[in-house]
Amino acid sequence: MPGIKGPSDYSQEPPRHPSLQINSKVPFNAEPPRSALASSYVTPVDLFYKRNHGPIPLVDDIDRYCVDICGLIRTPKKLYMRDVRMLPKYNVTATLQCAGNRRTAMSKTRKVRGVGWDVSAIGNAVWGGAKLADVLELIGIPKLTCSTQSGGKHVEFVSIDKCKEENGGPYKASIPLSQATNPEADVLLAYEMNEEPLNRDHGYPLRVIVPGVIGARSVKWLDSINIIAEECQGFFMQKDYKMFPPSVDWDNINWSTRRPQMDFPVQSVICSLEDVQSIKPGKVTISGYAVSGGGRGIERVDISIDGGKTWLEASRSQKTGVPYIADHVSSDKWAWVLFEVTVDIPCSTEIVAKAVDSAANVQPENVQDIWNLRGILNTSWHRVQVRAGHSNM
């Protein structure tokens, strides 16, 4: 594509923060320390998890870069950055989470395939850009449209990014046209992250942000937008990121029996303590994040300091100075909440967190019940062990 290219090797990768835990060097996949997440409602760009499938694309001429919009529409269009910037700009605070977040814990139950993510394949950012609904109006698709006159019902996003899973072809994904044309869904063509231009790891110069949905659908380094009749047939839509029951393994899987995963379920994680942590007996502050997909707020975060026998409620917050109320207009509907509670811990124990969203969905108790062969959507109760004794904490 003019103005941008996908390198054939990893010799021109961007610099990364030294504190990132590297789960794969090539392609580069890494996450921050869990403690970094609970310290800031908006995740710093350098500490936002990095999920890649190939070498990071390089822009050599931003003025020549454009996105082809084509498919089941009357008038195809080339969309340049100047066209995107002429549209109204929106800032949307949204949490992105890899579907494989917490995969490592699931693999302890039974082996799974995939990048070995701990609990930090997630981050919350302020994304700036044009609404996809406004972009699609430029090519004659009105807002709140379910189907074009030519039968287009899905919007496919194709990346510059080339990956081995597509046999060297581009990464791609799609969402329903009804979602893409709904301004309230806040789907963006984003060119900013935390009020700065996107950096290379996060999709410079232009990426899609699909709030409330697993990160795999928020395609980076956008090459083209296709209006299509059926959902995208790419690898990551049809042969990955689908939720199977524990009875399905690699010898009996039938990918066509499941729909591609979109919304992510309710999730919470303790970030102030490692999986096994030594503490001094006494007051301990327990903090972390909780989030749910589909724009559902967090109604409650429950903490247990006796392995789940009894519970107490943690405080929830988003923006400083604004009380958090789930699903209220004052809250960021697509973003996580940070939770905190201070408790007295006199002896060694298991601390547990579980969240309840505004639709009363609650995290499942046991990871065994939601085990799946790709290790996605581990939203089981988050558990950490504390060892009471002498500590520098």
Averaged pLDDT, 255-260:
97
pLDDT value, residue 101: 98
In this predicted structure, the answer to whether residue 324 has a pLDDT above a threshold of 60 is: yes
In this predicted structure, the answer to whether residue 355 has a pLDDT above a threshold of 60 is: yes
Percentage of the chain with pLDDT > 90?
98
pLDDT value, residue 1: 75
Task: Report the mean per-residue pLDDT for the chain.
Answer: 97
pLDDT value, residue 285: 98
CA distance 110 to 326: 35
Q: What is the pLDDT of residues 80-115, one digit of tens each?
A: 999 999 999 999 999 999 999 999 999 999 999 999
pTM above 0.85, yes or no: yes
pLDDT value, residue 123: 98
One-character DSSP codes across 326-380: TT-TTS-TTS-EEEEEEEEE-S-EEEEEEEEETT--B--S-GGGG--TT-----S
Torsion of CA 191, 196, 197, 198, to 10 degrees: -80
pLDDT-based confidence at residue 2 (cuts at 50, 70, 90): confident
In this predicted structure, the answer to whether residue 391 has a pLDDT above a threshold of 60 is: no
Which residue do the tokens 């919007």 mark? 155
pLDDT-based confidence at residue 390 (cuts at 50, 70, 90): low
Q: Which of 100, 94, 95, 96 is nearest to 24 (CA)?
A: 100
In this predicted structure, the answer to whether residue 259 has a pLDDT above a threshold of 70 is: yes
